[in-house]
Amino acid sequence: MIKAILLSLSSFGLLALALPPFPLGPGALVFLAPWLYVLKTANQKTALLSSYAGAFLFNAVSIYWLYHVGDVAPPALIFSGIFLAVSYLSLYTLLYAYFFVKMRDLNVGKFKMILLFPFFWAGIEVLQSKGDMSFPWLSLGLVFGNSLEMIQSYALFGVFGVSAIILASNMCVVEAFLRRKRTLLLVPAIVVITFYIGGAIAVAGEKEEEPHLIVTVVQPSIHQAKKWTKSYYDSVMTQTWDLFNTLDPTNVDLIVFPETAIPDYMNLRYSEHSFLHNYTLENNTSIMIGALNREKNDEKRRKFNIYNSAFLFGSGYPALEYSKMHLVPFSEKVPFDNIFPVVNYVDLGGGDFTAGDSLTLWQPGNFSPLICYEAIYGSILRKAKRKGATFIANITNDGWFYKSTAPYQHLNLVRAHAVENGIGIVRSANTGISAFIRANGEITERTELFEIRTLTGTVPLKTRFTPYYAIGDYIEYALFAFSLILMLVVLFLRKKMATNR
């Protein structure tokens, strides 16, 4: 038992250091081999306990930054929430381990396992990206984010497909040792060489795209502890406007402020609304800025619907509004509140926002605004591109997480799905990391964490075709369906075997 736990801890501890910003990404092609060895050789109890221990370590290291939210919520509630979040996320690894052991006990052939289990894993990752409790933050395929060449694989296989390839590589390593088939040890090297050379060729073939827009992003770096304090509102806005006033708007087509750059309801801030409107008229430019909004609600439970929104000010039209559709579970919305209305009466310390109902296209350039968490969903980027978006303007506030790995992980996710779908992203983050990301994932301009600055760059108005953009939805549905069918088949065969004994 102790040996199995140590092997699992080593696997998942190393895997946690493979996700950006850590540098061990390609190592993920072999890091899970000790854990898979445990699954191949240990009894069910040992396999499950060691798997959960390893997964708990991985998730604790990967999302430790949640404790920073304790600055704006009761610490006891936050640390309890972190423990529950890590415990919940570790259940997915327990699910992987359980069905691996069951397939092993059904004497599924080793090469069939190498084919079936990676697709099962990818299908469960798809499941983690759906619904009110979705959290696709730690997908295995994201480990290649430090290499522009390696992430070109997302354009062909998607993040979930790359997850399957990584897991298959690890399974080949295990078989190489168990079956003494040394040639299988070449699989990780073949994957790295193929991905790198293929990616290098794809990147080298890219050309500077025309036409393009000139866009400026504003990163005011407002400290989170002060951002939502009414007594600091004037100083917060002064810091933002002072930075804004250093801009030369000449020839700038669009200026992008971060999520909730105005930390209040826009419809209550008449002076800011008037200032932004007049500025765009005088300088012949457009401004996108984040703020809250609210509208009256006839329900007795609450008087207002509250929205996390983006507003567009531009010459020749009144301000347009887009409201965030995919809300962060617990932080912005209590999951399943539409199914179990009673949870709406429980205060969990988070927000109580109402979701928007549709994507939109804004000018100049036919871009879609996405707020914070929404841009980590490849399916949302595909919908925006199919709607006609030529690029995404993503505004976020990662100030919640201070100087931690979270902002780097967030940027890596956004970049990965940009490559998947062949669409560029302009990113304005309150405390960083703001960036210009091309459709092939190249970051042409970026800021550092807590840097107070503006950033100006060009945004191509031509998207890039990728196979995954064309068929990604079908692949994800197929992976999800495959996982469900495999679980049912395994459970049926296990029951049938037990009956025949």
DSSP letters spanning 30-66: HHTHHHHHHHHHS-HHHHHHHHHHHHHHHHHHHSGGG
Instruction: Name the region of 107 (left: φ>0; alpha: ψ -120 to 50; beta: rest).
Output: left
Both tokens assigned to 392: 């995404």
How far apart CA 71 and CA 73 sit, in angstroms, is 6
* SS3 at position 321: strand
DSSP string, 406-469: HHHHHHHHHHHHHHHHT-EEEEEESSS--EEE-TTS-EEEE--TT--EEEEEEEES-----HHH
Q: Indicate if 395 and 477 belong to the same structural domain.
A: no
Q: CB count, 10 Å around CB of 450?
A: 15
Count of the separate structural domains present in the chain = 2
How far apart CA 149 and CA 197 sit, in angstroms, is 7
Q: Cα angle vertex 368, ends 252, 319, to 5°?
A: 65
336 found inside a domain: no
pTM across the whole model: 0.92
20 found inside a domain: yes
Both tokens assigned to 138: 């730690």
Q: CB count, 10 Å around CB of 121?
A: 26
Q: Indicate if 170 and 293 belong to the same structural domain.
A: no
How far apart CA 51 and CA 89 sit, in angstroms, is 12
How far apart CA 87 and CA 81 sit, in angstroms, is 10
- DSSP conformational letter for 354: P
Q: Indicate if 449 and 422 belong to the same structural domain.
A: yes
403 found inside a domain: yes
Q: Indicate if 393 and 269 belong to the same structural domain.
A: yes
Q: Are strands 367-371 and 286-296 parallel, antiparallel or unpaired?
A: unpaired
Spatial CA neighbour of 424 closest among 483, 384, 472: 384
Spatial CA neighbour of 308 closest among 395, 389, 430: 395
pLDDT in tens, the chain (501 residues): 899 999 999 999 999 999 999 999 999 999 999 999 999 999 999 999 999 999 999 999 999 998 876 555 667 777 787 899 999 999 999 999 999 999 988 887 777 888 899 999 999 999 999 887 888 999 999 999 999 999 999 999 999 999 999 999 999 999 998 888 888 899 999 999 999 999 999 998 777 666 889 999 999 998 877 777 777 788 888 888 989 989 999 999 999 999 999 988 998 888 899 899 999 999 999 999 999 998 887 765 667 888 999 999 986 667 899 999 888 887 776 664 554 343 343 334 445 788 888 899 999 999 999 999 899 999 999 999 999 999 999 999 988 888 899 999 999 999 999 999 999 999 999 998 999 999 999 999 999 999 999 999 999 999 999 999 999 999 999 999 999 999 999 888 877 766 766
Q: Indicate if 142 and 289 belong to the same structural domain.
A: no
Q: CB count, 10 Å around CB of 119?
A: 20
pLDDT of residue 73: 61
| Residue 91 contacts residue 125 (beta carbons within 8 Å) | no
pLDDT of residue 500: 67
| Residue 103 contacts residue 113 (beta carbons within 8 Å) | yes
Q: Indicate if 90 and 219 belong to the same structural domain.
A: no
Q: Indicate if 242 and 371 belong to the same structural domain.
A: yes
357 found inside a domain: yes
Q: Can you give the residue range of the structural domain that contains 453?
A: 212-298+307-325+353-464
* Tokens 């703020």 found at: 291
Q: At what angle do helices 33-41 and 153-178 cross, to 10 degrees?
A: 50
337 found inside a domain: no
pLDDT of residue 70: 56
- 314 has which bridge partners? 286, 317
How far apart CA 417 and CA 342 sit, in angstroms, is 36
Q: Indicate if 91 and 118 belong to the same structural domain.
A: yes
Q: Indicate if 164 and 22 belong to the same structural domain.
A: yes
Q: Indicate if 179 and 319 belong to the same structural domain.
A: no
Q: What b-and-e string marks burial along 229-246, b requiring 16 or more CB atoms within 10 Å of the CB?
A: eeebbeebbebbeebbee
* Domain CATH code at residue 252: 3.60.110.10
400 found inside a domain: yes
Spatial CA neighbour of 32 closest among 55, 48, 49: 55
341 found inside a domain: no
Spatial CA neighbour of 227 closest among 193, 259, 183, 273: 259
Q: Indicate if 51 and 100 belong to the same structural domain.
A: yes
Both tokens assigned to 185: 């040890």
How far apart CA 393 and CA 224 sit, in angstroms, is 22
Spatial CA neighbour of 28 closest among 162, 132, 193: 162
Q: Indicate if 111 and 155 belong to the same structural domain.
A: yes
452 found inside a domain: yes
